[in-house]
Chain A
C-alpha cells in the first residue's frame, strides 16, 4: 500500500512527466488502432463490393465479353446437373436524364439466383415480396435503388428512356428498393433484359457455385471460358495485403519509437526516486518487489494511455480512412468505405500493443531499480557506470540483431511479413548502436567543437555526454523517428521520380482515348465500333494525326493462371517507349515476326520469368507457346502485363475490340492548339458515346496526382512519428533539469543568471537535435535502401531508381533542430 501511495505521489507531483509518458504511449497506440481500423473497414468494404459483383459465385462461364447462347445454361442445368448455376445479363446502357448517365442493366433469374444470395442481399428479398408476376412478365419493368432513383430523379411507376447501341427504349420503374447493393444499376428479370437488349436467345454469362471446374466437362470449349471468381478474389486480396502490410509496418515503426519513449520516462522516474527505492531496500523490500512496483506502475500508466489512445485512434481513423479509401480506389478497385466501426478485436490489439510496448520499455529500468544494492541507489554516477557496462553488451546485441536481420532477408524472399520483421531487426540493431557511437564521437566532438565554446554552453553540451544513460535513449529515439521520415521521403521520392521518367518514356501519343473503367489503372472495356469510326473519320483528327495507335487489354488464360494481355500497334516511336530490364538482342524482330511477347517486370517477378522463358497462352486455336523476348519496366499494373503485337493478337484471338487509342500528332504542329481543338471534337463525341480522353500532359498530371494522393498517408504518419520523438526530447530535458536542480542551484549561487541556465538547456537540446539528425542520416539511408530494394521489390516487383534529393537531408536537420529548439 505504501509502495502504491509513494508511486501515486510521485506521478501526481511530476505530472508533466507523467503526461508526457502517457502521450508517448497513447500516440503510439492511436496510430496502431487508426491503421488497424482503416484496414479492417477497407477490407469489409472490399468484401461487400466483391459480393456485389460475384455474390457466392465461385466461377463464371463466359465467352470473353461476347454473349453466349442460353442453351448452354439449359445444358448446365439438365445435362451437367449443376445445382447452383444462374444466368446473368449485364450491359451498360445510357439513361437520358438532363445528361446521358451511364448505368448497368442487370438481368437476373430470381429462381436460380436464390442460392447465390448473400445474407446482406436485401434487394431480392424485397423483390420477392413485391409482385413477382410483374417482374417476370412485364416487358420493360425493373427495380432501382433509392439512391439511384434520386440520382436519376425518377419515381415509382415512371419511365426512363435509355439508349442501347443505336436504339431508344423505355424502362418502367416497378419499385424503388432501399438497398445500396443495387446502386447504379437497374435490376430486371433475365427475360426482360433479353427483350430490352434485343438478344432473345443469349445471355452475358452464367454464374456458378461449383467445387470442381471439371464438372462442366466438354462444355468449356471453343469460345467458352470458365473463370474462377474466387481466385480473382484471392489475388485481389493478396495484392491488397501487401498494401496493408506496408501500412501496418508504418504503425509498427511508430510503436518502436514509443517504446523508446517509455523507456526514457520510466528510467527517469526511477532515477528520481533512487532515494526512495534505496530506503525501501534498506527497509527490507526485496529487489523483486521493487521490480514488481515499477512494472505495476507501467501497467497502470499504459492501460490509461492505451484507453485514451484507442479513442484517439478511432478519431484519427475517421481522417485516415479518406486517404486510404482514395488510395484503394486509385490503385485497386472502386469501393466506398462508408464508416469506420470500432471493433473489439482492434480495441484488444490497441491495448495489447500499448501495454506490451510499455512493459518492454519499462523492463530494463525496472530491472535496474531492483538490481543494485540499497546504498548505491543514492549515487547518480553509479547509474552511468552501469550504463557503460550495458553499452559494452549492446555492441554484441546490435551486431547479432543486424546479422540476424540480414540472414532472414536473404532467405525469406516470399514472405513479406518476415521481410518486415527482418527490417525491424536491422533497424533496432542499428539504432542501439547509436549510444556507443555517441560515446565514441563524444571525445572528438569535445575537442573539435565544444572546447571552443563558452563555459555555459560547455556545461550544457558536456552534460549530454555525461548523462548518456538518459540522453542516448532520447537521441536514439529521435534519430529513429527522423530516419523513418527520411527513409519515407527518399523512398517515395525515388518512386515518384521513377514513375515520372517512366511516364515520359512510355507516353508517346499526344492524346489518349479509352473506354471508361471502374478502376483508374485497369482498362479492359471496349470502345464501340461506331466511336472508333467517328474518331478515324473526324476531319480534324485526320488532318493533324500522324498515327493512331490502338491498344487492346484483355484477360487471357495461361499456364500461369489468368493474365492481363495488352496488344499494341508497333512502330518506331512505340519501340523506343519501352525501357528494358533485360531483352534478347533481336527483340524487335522477334516481337514483330515470331511468337514472342514482352512482359512487364512485376509479371516476371511474380512468376520468376526471364528472357528466353516461355508462357503458354490460350488463343482461339487452343494453347500456344510464346517466348519472352524481353522484360520491360512498368509501373502501371502491379499484377504485371504481357505485351503482344496487335497483328498477332488479332489473328490468334480473333478479337477486333479496342480498349484505347493513342493519337500521335504530326511533328510540326502547334501542339497545344491542336490538342485543344481535338479535345473539343472529342467532347462533342462524348455527349453520345461514353469514353475518357486525356492529353499526354493531362495523363501525366493525373497519374502524379493519384500518386501523390496515394502517399499522402505517409505524410500523416511521418508527422505523428516526429511528434512522438519531439515529446521524447521534452521529457528528457525535463528530467535532466529536474535531476540537476541542485547543480543549477549551486551555479545560480555562483552568479549564473537564469538566462545562462536557459542557455544551458538550449545547448543541451540543440546538441540532442544535432546529434539525432546526424545519426538519422545513415539510419534513414539504410532504411530507404532496404525499403526500395527489398520490401518494395518483394511486394510489387518494381525496380525503383534510388533518387535522393539532398534537400531532404537539410530538411531533416532543420526539423530536428527546430524540434529541439521548441523543446528546449
Chain B
C-alpha cells in the first residue's frame, strides 16, 4: 500500500496542487532526522495500532464492500493519514503548534444510484483535534477505534458507522512486516493488514439511513521513504475471494514499465501469507474510463492471472466514477471479481487504488 505514501507526503510537504508537482515533491523528500524502516522488527499490539511519530508518514486504512437488506451495494473508504512535517521540531508555548499533521479521506460509493461521495480533511494533532493512541486514531469526528473495532465518520452528506470483527488474523506484509519500496536500505515501510473483517452498521447518505452488512479490509503502514526518480504512480488491489482467500497486489509504474519492487501477497483461509513476486503476476488492462471532470484516463477493467497459484480473475469496478477529486485526484473504488481459483469458479469483491494517471 505504497499509495498513500505519495498522497501524504506531497500534500503535506506542499499542500500543493497537481499530481506532477506532488510526485516530484515525493522524489525530493528529505528523510533526514526521521526513524527509518531499515530492519525487521517485532510488532506489538495494541501498541502498534497507535502512531509512530518519529516516522515521516503513517496511515490507518479501511475499505470495504457493504449491502443493505434490499441488496443495494455500497463501497466505503475511511483513511486517516499522519505526517511528521519536521523531525527536529520542539514544542513551544502554543496549544496548537505541532509537527504532526493529520489528513483524512472518506468516501462512500452508492452503486445503485451511481453516486460517489468523497471528502478530504486536514487537522493538526494538537488540542485533541486529531491524534492516535493504541486504542484509537482520530481526526475531528472521524475515528478508528481498536477495542472494540469500530469506524465512525460524519462529513458533508454522509455518515459511516460500522462495527468490525476480524475474520482473519493480522498479516505482516513483505518480510515479516518490512515492506521494501526500493532496493535501497530504509526505503521501506512497516506494514500489516487485517484482510477480512465482518462489518455491520449504518451508513447515512443525505439524511437517509441504510442498515448494512459486508466485509472490510484494514491496512496499517508507517515509513520514512521516498520514490525513485523514474516512478510515475501506482496501482493497488485488495481482493477478497468467495473461497475465503485474499489477494493483495501493488505495482509501481515507472517510465520503463513496472518497478521490480512491486509485490503480491496471497492469504489463505488460515491467515497464512505467501508472497507473490512480480514475475508470477500477469496483469492486463481490458478497458479504460476517462473522468469527465478531470479528463484523466484510468484503467477500468483488468485480467489478473497467477498461474503458479491457479488464479485467473477478471476485476471490474462496481461503477466507473469513484474518482477522488481533491487537489490531488486519484481513483479508489469498489470492484467485483469473477474468475477461477484452484480450478473452481469463484467471485468476490475488493478495492482498487489508481494514482499518477494523466
Residue of A nearest to B99 (CB): A137
Cβ distance A190 to chain B, nearest Cβ, rounded Å:
5
B43 near A: Cβ within 8 Å?
no
Binds A, one of B9-17, B183-191, B212-220, B339-347: B9-17
Task: Out of A81, A128, A137, name the residue touching B97 (CB < 8 Å).
Answer: A137
CB atoms of A74 and B129 under 8 A apart = yes
A297 near B: Cβ within 8 Å?
no
Task: Out of B12, B89, B93, B140, name the residue touching A198 (CB < 8 Å).
Answer: B93
Cα(A783)–Cα(B97), bound, Å: 64
Residues of A within 8 Å of B258, CB to CB, are none
B207 near A: Cβ within 8 Å?
no
Cα(A201)–Cα(B97), bound, Å: 10
Contact A128/B95 with A78-B129, A81-B154, A137-B85 known, Cβ cut-off 8 Å:
no
Task: Out of A83, A129, A189, A190, name the residue touching B14 (CB < 8 Å).
Answer: A129
Cβ distance A426 to chain B, nearest Cβ, rounded Å:
54
Q: Which of A74, A109, A114, A192 has the most CB of B within 10 A?
A: A74
Cβ distance A87 to chain B, nearest Cβ, rounded Å:
8
CB atoms of A110 and B140 under 8 A apart = no
Residues of B within 8 Å of A73, CB to CB, are 127, 129
Residue of B nearest to A193 (CB): B94
CB atoms of B140 and A78 under 8 A apart = yes
Binds A, one of B45-53, B60-68, B118-126, B274-282: B118-126
CB atoms of B97 and A195 under 8 A apart = yes
Cα(A112)–Cα(B130), bound, Å: 13
CB atoms of A77 and B94 under 8 A apart = no
Cα(A603)–Cα(B44), bound, Å: 69
Residues of B within 8 Å of A83, CB to CB, are 155-156
Residues of A within 8 Å of B129, CB to CB, are 73-74, 77-78
Cβ distance B137 to chain A, nearest Cβ, rounded Å:
13
Secondary structure of the A contact surface, majority rule:
helix
B72 near A: Cβ within 8 Å?
no
Residue of B nearest to A124 (CB): B15
CB atoms of B128 and A132 under 8 A apart = no
Cα(A237)–Cα(B86), bound, Å: 47
Contact A133/B85 with A73-B127, A195-B92 known, Cβ cut-off 8 Å:
yes
Interface range on chain B (Cβ under 8 Å from partner): 20 to 34
Residues of B within 8 Å of A137, CB to CB, are 85-86, 89, 97, 99
Cα(A198)–Cα(B13), bound, Å: 28
Residue of A nearest to B120 (CB): A114
CB atoms of B97 and A70 under 8 A apart = no
Contact A192/B122 with A77-B129, A78-B141 known, Cβ cut-off 8 Å:
no
Contact A192/B140 with A70-B127, A132-B15 known, Cβ cut-off 8 Å:
no
CB atoms of B96 and A191 under 8 A apart = yes
In the complex, which residues 123-140 of chain A have their Cβ closer than 8 Å to any Cβ of chain B?
A: 128-129, 131-133, 136-137, 139
CB atoms of A201 and B156 under 8 A apart = no
Q: Which of B93, B94, B123 has the most CB of A within 10 A?
A: B94
Q: Which of B96, B123, B138 has the most CB of A within 10 A?
A: B96
CB atoms of B122 and A70 under 8 A apart = no
CB atoms of B140 and A77 under 8 A apart = yes
Cα(A64)–Cα(B107), bound, Å: 39
CB atoms of B94 and A78 under 8 A apart = no
B197 near A: Cβ within 8 Å?
no
CB atoms of B141 and A128 under 8 A apart = no
CB atoms of A200 and B127 under 8 A apart = no
A71 near B: Cβ within 8 Å?
yes
A318 near B: Cβ within 8 Å?
no
CB atoms of A136 and B16 under 8 A apart = no
Residues of A within 8 Å of B97, CB to CB, are 136-137, 139, 189, 191-192, 194-195
Cα(A329)–Cα(B239), bound, Å: 65
Cβ distance A456 to chain B, nearest Cβ, rounded Å:
85
B8 near A: Cβ within 8 Å?
no
Cβ distance A520 to chain B, nearest Cβ, rounded Å:
37
CB atoms of A112 and B96 under 8 A apart = no
A111 near B: Cβ within 8 Å?
yes
Ordered by A's residue number, 15 sampled pairs between the chains whose C-beta atoms are within 8 Å are A70-B127, A71-B128, A73-B129, A74-B128, A78-B128, A78-B129, A81-B140, A81-B141, A81-B154, A87-B96, A109-B124, A129-B17, A131-B14, A191-B97, A195-B92
Known: A83-B156, A200-B94. 20 other contacts (CB 8 A): A70-B96, A70-B127, A74-B129, A77-B141, A79-B141, A81-B140, A81-B141, A83-B155, A110-B15, A111-B121, A111-B124, A128-B16, A129-B14, A129-B17, A132-B12, A133-B85, A194-B93, A194-B97, A195-B94, A200-B95
Interface residues of A (CB under 8 A from B): 70-71, 73-74, 77-79, 81, 83, 87, 109-112, 114, 128-129, 131-133, 136-137, 139, 189-192, 194-195, 198, 200-201
Interface residues of B (CB under 8 A from A): 12-17, 85-86, 89, 92-99, 101, 121-124, 126-129, 138, 140-141, 154-156
